Amino acid sequence: MIPENCSFCGKNVPKGHGTLFVKSDGTMFLFCSKKCEKNQMQLGRIPKNVAWTNAGRKERGKGEK
């Protein structure tokens, strides 16, 4: 089953769009943009610590966009 939301920011990704990254252990990540992919894979950031992600908004009590 392929995830429908971005693995980093939580934004809905339409079918056929985005980038699907599969690790050798079978873990799948779907990214809506290169920005999300770079933040998670290269920079190792945690979504709840980044203000512009849904998890970050929820953590700060700002609600979801």
**In this structure, is residue 33 part of a structural domain?**
yes
**Predicted model pTM:** 0.84
The tens digit of pLDDT for each residue in 37-57 reads 999 999 999 999 999 999 999
- Domain CATH for 56: 2.30.170.20
**In this structure, is residue 30 part of a structural domain?**
yes
**Two tokens, residue 61:** 């009590």
The tens digit of pLDDT for each residue in 14-34 reads 988 999 999 999 999 999 999
Q: Could you give the number of structural domains in the chain?
A: 1
Phi, psi of 57 (to 5 degrees): -65, -40
**In this structure, is residue 39 part of a structural domain?**
yes
